[in-house]
Structure 1
Amino acid sequence: MVLSISQETFNNAVQENITDLGLSPEEALEEAVTQFESQGVDLSSIIKELMISSASSANIEEVVVKLLNLNKKKASANEITNQLEILKTECDKGIQERVIAGKAGAYNAILDTLINNKNDVNIERHCLKAMISLMTKQPDLLDEKGIEIILSNLKKEADYDLKKLSLRWAKECCIMHEMNRQKIFDSHILENLKELLNDGTSDILRDVLSVFRGLVLDDDVRVEFGKAHDHARIIASEILCPLTGLLTRFRSDELLIFDLMLTVTSLMVRTEFCKKVEDAGGLDLIRDVMKAFPNNEKINRQCFKLLKSLGGNDDVRGHVIQKNLAPIIVTALNENKGNVGTAVAGLACISSLTLRSPENSRAFFDSGSPAVIVEVMKMYPDEKQIQKTASWAIRNMVCRSKYQSGTFIELGIEELLHKDLKKFKDIEYDIKAALRDLDCKVNLREEWTGKGGALTTGLSRE
């Protein structure tokens, strides 16, 4: 299990280095990082910035105290919203301000304000905005009372803005916090989200989709085993068909289409879900989306990723080609090859769809994929991920369709792959596999002779 610490522990260590050792703030920060890393602590989720000034800290604490006092008397709406705006402004400055506010009791102060003014929508909106700012990258503050408020604001009769803000609050609570995800999911939020999915506008649907994705994250290093797969399985069973229907309903909404593709891809955790998407007309919709947005890198990248996931089902993989998607995929890769991430996703998509499928390989070959693959490799000679995924695509295309090798050789692939061998030692296996299946000269080594000793990485023959 990965060793981890809280932001508070890290901040306290920096402060101790300043007060006890007499170090400057910069030296104290550097010493704390060195100390924790030497102990094997993962600091990827820790904000490694200098501590804020005592003046800023005092200002935040004063605002929280004022807000708590306003809750004890019948203060005017203007007084309350003014303090909430000040608190939000302070929290928006950075994580350190948010940590100070959290320590000062800002979370309970905002919750109390929400509860005491539940019939004043304007104050509620200001409370939720301040809460989102407070809890951004600081999800530990959430408690059962907060979850109850989120759920109550997602009911059908709730104010539109309160729904949107509560969805954003829920999403922030899910990021990098496994226990929050489980508590929110176990509160049956799925029922509320399904209602919004059916009745929501394009604007609110994007926030609903972000919560679905938040619930299937697996990014909390403090937890060895999470429930991301279980959440994805249950959510997919409930909403895959409605999501596919939304692709049809909002096919011209560029931003929502991207979020829909992103969400469907995040739910593709089982092969039967691939068939479910296809049965709902998903392949036709993906084809239409790629045709409608041929030059949108983000949308095409997500379409590539979704098609790669769908290719995990052998039947669906064959149907992708029957829907005449091969030339569309090749064209989209060629049109959007200027973006590294999109190019990697396109190459991985071709690799997935041609795996153990000579028919699919022929379709991509006839669509001109060899020239595009080689062109992408030439564009990014120093991008390891490009060279790796291209090697996969080449290997899968030619291993059962040897007639394609000559075309790749004529395009200069052998020279490119041999250059990669010298440049990228850690993907040697992938490059040699492509050279081997192209029937090019390559030095292969035996992985295990059966005579005892440790296994070594390599290919299975000399």
Structure 2
Amino acid sequence: MGSRQIAQETFDEAVQENITEFQMEPEEAVREAVQQFQSQGVDLSNIVKAVRPVSENGQRQKHQILLSLESLGRAVAEQDVAQLPELLAALAAQCKQEPACRCLAARHGAYPTLLSACQLAAGHGAALPAALGALAALLDGQPELLDAPGRELLLRGLREREAALAGLRCVRHACLRHEHNRQAFVSAGVLPLLTAAIAQHGGDAELVRAAAATLRAMTLDDDIRVPFGHAHEHARMIVLENDGLRVLIEAARAFRDDCGVLSELCATLSRLAVRNEFCQEIVDLGGLNFLVTLLADCVEHPDVVRQVLGALRAVAGNDDVKDAVVSAGATDLIVLAINRHLGNPQICEQGCAALCMLALRKPENCSVIVEGGGALAALQAMKAHPGEAAVQRQACMLLRNLVARSRELRGPILAMGAEPLIAEARALHRDCDDVARAALRDLGCHVELRELWTGQKGSLAQ
């Protein structure tokens, strides 16, 4: 049974009652109202938990975001372009405060008002970027607001240099967790606009970051309302019809010293490595050598390291590329990255996952990984993050792959203390049960889980 919901007005009345009837201070009145409704099982995620401002005559007004929306509506109705930038900036700032503010604004007609503001601002300098910026803030988490006229307006905005950055943010927010919007934008021709924004960036780092993130959004499959998305087809179109791999790799070379841009580009590149031939093309374009060099040069930057590891994991889906990755010396760098960022669970997860892919069906690579400290690094990651199921699962999968076709590696890995750590992962995380059991089996361990885990706890107690 889902949580109950209330209207914003109901919450506001409860707050006002606490102030007038029980003489509470405004902040205390809000806290009391929140506790009251939460104790009744009410979902307050879409409720603005603040006291409405007081007018000059002492009366409670509407929430500030609604007052800003009314002011913008009047300016649009009067076609007062001069006031638009300031009013739009204020509304955008309030929308960014919390999702509840955006929901309240949407319920009171913010989307059509902003769409009219965008149409009025077109051709008026900074007004259009400001209008699209406010629209992007409103669409964040509310992609269902976008309609066909809004989509057409955004596509026009992407073609204007001054408005492109704000337009990209709008498109991205409209496509996250919304498959219909993704497909509609792709059908309308957004992909060449996105790759062109990256290729013709003119040194604009923010534009490249936004374009890469938006391009990646087209390859997601995150809308639970649809049984099948077009993520793979969109990735195919980006690579084959829009030369996406070359565009991303060349942009990465152009922004070699910008960690923020590199992180976005590597994250997007990993989303495009969905076919064997695409993985090979990344190698042929020099992308693999670039990734390995980038990992060596930026090993102190966790965001870049995490995304490079994800990209290496993705391209290693091709068995031939696995050999190229190992030959390029990437295994030592992956182990170095795990050890250097042992406290970062995301890097530990991605590092184990990358080594896991390199070991899969490749016995010769398994020896290289173990000799280079890969198995030991995975076990250290398991010790460092016992509560992180993702780390435990990827480490267990790596250990299994290392010995599945290389039985001679069982002894060295068991000697490192693998067995109790795998048993602990299996006992603590239901998601790890299958891979942990398989790892124990392939390591030659035949002790039942309960007996093993009980025995380990007993030895630790002693």
Q: TM-score, with normalisation over the residues of structure 2?
A: 0.82
- The correspondence for 2:87, drawn from 83, 96, 99, is 83
Partner of residue 192, structure 1: 193
Q: Which residue of 1 aligns with 2:99?
A: 95
1:460 matched residue in structure 2:
none
1:288 Cα offset (Å)? 0.5
Q: SS of the counterpart of 1:121?
A: coil
Distance in structure 2 (CA, Å) of the matches to 1:59 and 1:414? 59
8 Å Cα contact 1:337-1:376 kept in structure 2: yes
Q: Which residue of 2 aligns with 1:182?
A: 183
Q: 1:149 — aligned with what?
A: 153
Aligned to 2:25: none
CA gap of 1:386–1:14, structure 2 versus 1, over 3 A, is farther
Deviation, structure 1 residue 60: 4.2
Aligned to 1:231: 234
Q: 2:22 matched to which residue of 1?
A: none
- Per-residue CA distance 1:161-218 (angstroms, 9 max, x = gap): x111111111111122222222222210112122212110223110100111222222
Residue identity in the other structure for 2:341: N
Counterpart code for 2:269: V
State the shift of 1:290 in Å.
Answer: 0.7
Aligned CA distance change for structure 1 residues 361 and 65 (closer, same or farther; 3 Å): same
- Identity over aligned residues, as a percent? 28
Report the CA distance shift for 1:404/1:15 in structure 2 as closer, same or farther (over 3 A): same
Aligned pair 1:222/2:220, yes or no? no
| Residue 360 (structure 1) aligns with | 365
Q: How does 1:228-267 map to 2 (within 5 A)?
A: 228-237=231-240, 238=242, 239-267=244-272
Which aligned pairs between 1:31-430 and structure 2 lie closer than 5 A? 31=40, 47=45, 49=47, 55=60, 57=62, 59-73=64-78, 75=80, 77=82, 79-155=83-159, 158-160=160-162, 162-200=163-201, 201=203, 202-237=205-240, 238=242, 239-424=244-429, 427-430=432-435
What secondary structure is seen at the aligned counterpart in 1 of 2:126? helix
Q: Per the alignment, do residues 397 and 28 of structure 1 end up closer, same or farther by CA in structure 2, a change over 3 Å counting?
A: same
SS at match of 1:295: coil
Task: Report SS of the residue matched to 1:203.
Answer: helix
1:29 CA displacement: 5.3
CA deviations on 1:208-237 (whole Å, 9 max, x unpaired) are 001112222222233333222222221233
Q: Which runs of 5+ in 1 are unaligned?
A: 35-45, 445-462
Work out the CA distance in 1 between the residues paired with 2:103 and 2:429: 43
> 1:432·1:442 contact (CA, 8 Å) conserved in 2?
no
CA-atom RMSD in angstroms: 3.1
CA distance in 1 between counterparts of 2:426 and 2:117 reads: 63
Matched letter for residue 215 of structure 2: F
The Cα shift of 1:261 comes to 0.7
Taking a change above 3 Å as real, the CA distance of residues 14 and 345 of structure 1, as seen in their structure-2 partners, is farther
When the two structures are aligned, how many residues end up with a matched partner? 423
Structure-2 change in CA distance of 1:304 and 1:86 (3 Å) = closer
Listed as ranges, the gaps of 5+ residues in structure 2 are: 18-31, 53-59, 450-462
Q: What secondary structure is seen at the aligned counterpart in 2 of 1:276?
A: helix
* Inter-partner Cα distance in structure 2 for 1:433 and 1:342: 24
* AA aligned opposite 2:45: I
Name the counterpart of 2:56: none
Which amino acid letter does the alignment assign opposite residue 185 of structure 1? V
Task: Determine the C-alpha separation between the residues in 1 that align with 2:298 and 2:337.
Answer: 9
Cα drift, residue 339 of structure 1: 0.7
